[in-house]
Structure 1
Amino acid sequence: MTDRTVTAVEVGLRYLSLGHRMRRVVDDGMAHGGLSLARTKVLQVLQLQGPLRQASLAEALSQAPRSVTQSLEALERDGFVERTSDPEDGRSKLVRLTPQGSKALATGTAAGERVLSEIFAKMTAEQLAELGRLLDVIDRGLEV
């Protein structure tokens, strides 16, 4: 068996593929708690920032307003958020996390953390630290 140099493109494609797989595994684990990763992100923003206009929520999530509206409709049906008219601008909707949404968020977050702990438990502390440093390098590379 001969060693060959691996290209940045090959590593990048493998990283993207692995990231996609990991996201699916985490999402599946969280689904058992009643939330997807995407729905969890919506609830996390509302928990951190408090009630927001739908447009501000879409901006905070870096998503199209239409996509956020569809997510919010489902979250509202499940009782995780409530949408009311914004008292400062009746044309806008204000989105607020409900107590049931807070409980679902805690359950979903715990499920996601369990999955991540299981995945990364196979690594030593040194490997985790090195991976963290490598991820920092990749993150800086995105600042093009």
Structure 2
Amino acid sequence: MSDHEANTTDNDPEQVGLSFLTIAYGVREEVDRRMMSTAGLSLSRTKVLQVLDARGALHQAQLADALGQAPRSVTQIVEALERIGLVTRTEDADDRRRKTVSLTKKGRTTLEAAEQAGAHTLRQLFGSLSPQQLTSLSGLLAHLNTALTY
């Protein structure tokens, strides 16, 4: 056994943290893959549609703020969503540089399909845990969340 292996155990916070990050990334990738194959939407595009569905039409800057992303990143996503008919952008009557983004009927239908695919994937993955394991995991995640400094 190497010195590195001797110094890392199943209870080593760094190793457990790295395992958590790897698994979280894998879960995200699986949800994203299934949403793409079912609804043609990535998780990041789905999040944009979810904000519009929950809040209604927003200026692009408001949308970027709601998502916690740079305006340019959101602009690129919105342009792609507009090209496939999931959102519309209209000029602001007072400031033609400002664009208001709205969810279309097709966007809402596609969003529902993506959300269902994501939920199904999460039910499959986390459904493999017993009720006791789910309760424990939920408590652990809540504890980690409170340990984060924002």
Alpha-carbon RMSD across the aligned residues, in angstroms, is: 1.6
The aligned residue for residue 72 of structure 2 is 66
2:15 to 1, 10, 14: 10
The aligned residue for residue 141 of structure 1 is 147
- 1:90 CA displacement: 2.5
The aligned residue for residue 59 of structure 2 is 53
Partners of 2:53 and 2:108 within 8 A in 1 = yes
Gap runs ≥5 in structure 2 = 1-5
Q: Structure 1 CA distance, aligned partners of 2:129 and 2:26?
A: 18
- 1:6 CA displacement: 2.2
- 1:4 CA displacement: 4.1
Query: TM-score, structure 1 length as denominator?
Result: 0.93
The aligned residue for residue 23 of structure 1 is 28
Q: Secondary structure at the match of 1:87?
A: coil
Deviation per residue, 1:68-98 (Å, 9 max, x gap): 1110111000100000012343321000000
Could you tell me which amino acid in structure 2 is paired with residue 57 of structure 1?
L
The aligned residue for residue 129 of structure 2 is 123
1:101 to 88, 107, 112: 107
**Divergent runs of 4+, >6 A:** none
How many equivalent pairs are there?
A: 143
Q: Structure 2 CA distance, aligned partners of 1:15 and 1:38?
A: 21
Structure 2 CA distance for partners of 1:85 and 1:125, relative to 1, 3 Å? same
Gap runs ≥5 in structure 1 = none
The aligned residue for residue 49 of structure 2 is 43
Matched, 1:90 2:96: yes
Q: Structure 2 CA distance, aligned partners of 1:8 and 1:59?
A: 34
Q: Structure 2 CA distance, aligned partners of 1:123 and 1:134?
A: 14
Q: Structure 2 CA distance, aligned partners of 1:4 and 1:24?
A: 27
Percent identical:
45
Q: Structure 2 CA distance, aligned partners of 1:17 and 1:59?
A: 28
Structure 2 CA distance for partners of 1:121 and 1:70, relative to 1, 3 Å? same
Could you tell me which amino acid in structure 2 is paired with residue 19 of structure 1?
A
